[in-house]
Copies of this chain bind each other. A is one copy, B any other.
Amino acid sequence: METITIMDIAKICGVGVSTVSRAINNHPDINEETKNMILKVIKENNYIPNNSARNLKRSASKTIAVLIKGISNPFYNNMLKVFEKEIQNKKYSFLLHRVEEQEDEIDIALELEKEKRLKGIVFLGGFFSHSEEKLKQLQVPFVLSTIGVTEKIDKSEYSSVAVDDIKESYKIVDYLCKLGHKKIAIITPTPMDESIGKLRLQGYFKALEDNQIPFNQNLVRYMEENIDTDTYSMKYGYEVTKRLLESGDEFTAIYAISDSMAVGACKAIFEAGKHVPNDYSVAGFDGMDISFYYNPSITTIRQPVEAMAYETIRILFDIIHNKNSQENKIFPAELIIGQSTRQI
C-alpha cells in the first residue's frame, strides 16, 4: 500500500503543501480554523508527518560513501542526485568525498572504512590503474561507476557500471568522418590526466584509422598552460578552441569529449565571427541537458545517466545484502544528432 503523503493531505484539504506544513509545525502564519481542519484530515488519514526525520532514527549509523574525481562535471551532478535519493530511501546516510587528481582513492577509501564504519563505497569518475592486490584490500562492497579500468585487473575482482567509452567515442567520430570531415580536432584533458578521456581518445584514433584519415598530432588539443580551469568545463573548451583558431591549423570539425567543452568551443567560434555548423561542425559527449537547449543544439553521445546511477546503487546493495557477487554492467549509449554538425 502506498503511504499517504503531504501532497495527498494538501489535495484533500484544497490547500498548498506549505500550508499543511505550517499546520503540522504549528507555524504562526496560519489561520486557526484552517489549521484545525488540516490536522483533522491528517488524523483521519493516519498521515505520519516528517516521515524522513522519523526514518532517520532507525538508520543507526549506516553510511555509504561516494568518492568522486572531478566534481565539476554536471554529468556527475545528475548521478549524485540519484545516489543521494536512493541511499536515503534505503535509510543509509550519504557521505560525499572528493578525491584530488593526485590522490590515491583506495588509500582514502581504506581510511574512510575505518573512520566511518562504511557499509559500501561508490567510486565515481576517473581512471583506475591500481593493482589487483591493492583493490583486494578494500573490505566493504564497492562499485566503480563511470570509471575507466585498466585491463590488467580481472573483471571478477570488482563491480562496475559504465558505457564502452572507446566504442561510443568511435561512433561519434565515425559519424563526423561519414559527413565528409577529414580534419577533425579533438579537445581532451592533458595527457597527465587520469580519466576516461584517454579511452575516448583511443576511440578517436581508431575511427580515423578505419576511415583512412591520416592522424595529425596538431589536432589533438589540450591546455598546455597550468591555468586554473577544470578539465571538461565550458571554460576549458573555450580556451583550447580560442588557441586552436589562432594557431592557423586547419580543421573543419571539433570533437570535444564533453558537452560542456563543446559549448565552450561553440562560444569561441562565435566570438571569432564564425558560425556553427556552417564554418565548423562541433560534437560533444555525455548527452547533458545543455546539448539539447544550446543554440544550435549539439550532436553528442547520450549516456543513460540516471539508469547508470540506479544500477550502481542496485548492484552495491545486492552485494551488501549478499544477493550477488561482483557484477560488471556496460550500458549502450546513443548518438544524438543535433544542429551543430553538417555534411561537407
A152: CB under 8 A from chain B?
Answer: yes
A264: CB under 8 A from chain B?
Answer: yes
Query: How many residues in A have their beta carbons less than 8 Å from beta carbons of B?
Result: 76
Residues A102 and B6 in contact, CB atoms below 8 Å apart: yes
Interface residues of A in 90-142 (CB under 8 A from B): 93-98, 100-104, 107-108, 110-112, 115-116, 129-131, 134
A343: CB under 8 A from chain B?
Answer: no
Complex interface: chain B residues within 8 A of A26 (CB): 131
A25: CB under 8 A from chain B?
Answer: yes
Q: Which of B88, B116, B264 contacts A61 (CB 8 A)?
A: B116
Q: How many copies does the complex hold?
A: 2
Q: Which residue of B lies closest to A292 (CB)?
A: B267
Given contacts A56-B108, A295-B267, A94 and B93 within 8 Å (CB-CB): no
Q: Which residue of B lies closest to A22 (CB)?
A: B129
Could you list 26 examples of A-B contacts with CB < 8 Å? A16-B191, A17-B102, A17-B192, A21-B104, A25-B131, A50-B104, A53-B104, A53-B108, A53-B111, A59-B115, A60-B115, A61-B116, A71-B80, A71-B81, A72-B81, A74-B77, A84-B97, A88-B97, A88-B98, A95-B95, A96-B96, A233-B289, A234-B290, A234-B293, A266-B295, A295-B295
A5: CB under 8 A from chain B?
Answer: yes
A66 to chain B, nearest CB (A): 9
The listed residue with most B CB atoms (<10 A of its CB), out of A102, A104, A233, is: A102
- Encode A168-200 as 1/0 by CB contact (under 8 A) with B: 000000000000000000000001101000000
Residues B234 and A103 in contact, CB atoms below 8 Å apart: no
A167 to chain B, nearest CB (A): 23
Given contacts A50-B107, A97-B94, A115-B61, A102 and B192 within 8 Å (CB-CB): no
Residues A192 and B293 in contact, CB atoms below 8 Å apart: no
Residues B18 and A129 in contact, CB atoms below 8 Å apart: yes
CA distance A59 to B115 in the complex (A): 8
Complex interface: chain B residues within 8 A of A292 (CB): 267
A52: CB under 8 A from chain B?
Answer: yes
A132 to chain B, nearest CB (A): 10
A29: CB under 8 A from chain B?
Answer: yes
Residues A17 and B101 in contact, CB atoms below 8 Å apart: yes
CA distance A100 to B295 in the complex (A): 33
A255: CB under 8 A from chain B?
Answer: no
Residues B94 and A27 in contact, CB atoms below 8 Å apart: no
Complex interface: chain B residues within 8 A of A131 (CB): 25-28
The listed residue with most B CB atoms (<10 A of its CB), out of A74, A98, A134, is: A98
Residues A130 and B27 in contact, CB atoms below 8 Å apart: yes
Complex interface: chain B residues within 8 A of A10 (CB): 192
CA distance A234 to B129 in the complex (A): 37
CA distance A72 to B74 in the complex (A): 10
A208 to chain B, nearest CB (A): 25
A69: CB under 8 A from chain B?
Answer: no
CA distance A136 to B86 in the complex (A): 31
Q: Which residue of B lies closest to A93 (CB)?
A: B95
CA distance A20 to B101 in the complex (A): 12
Q: Which of B21, B96, B129 contacts A102 (CB 8 A)?
A: B21
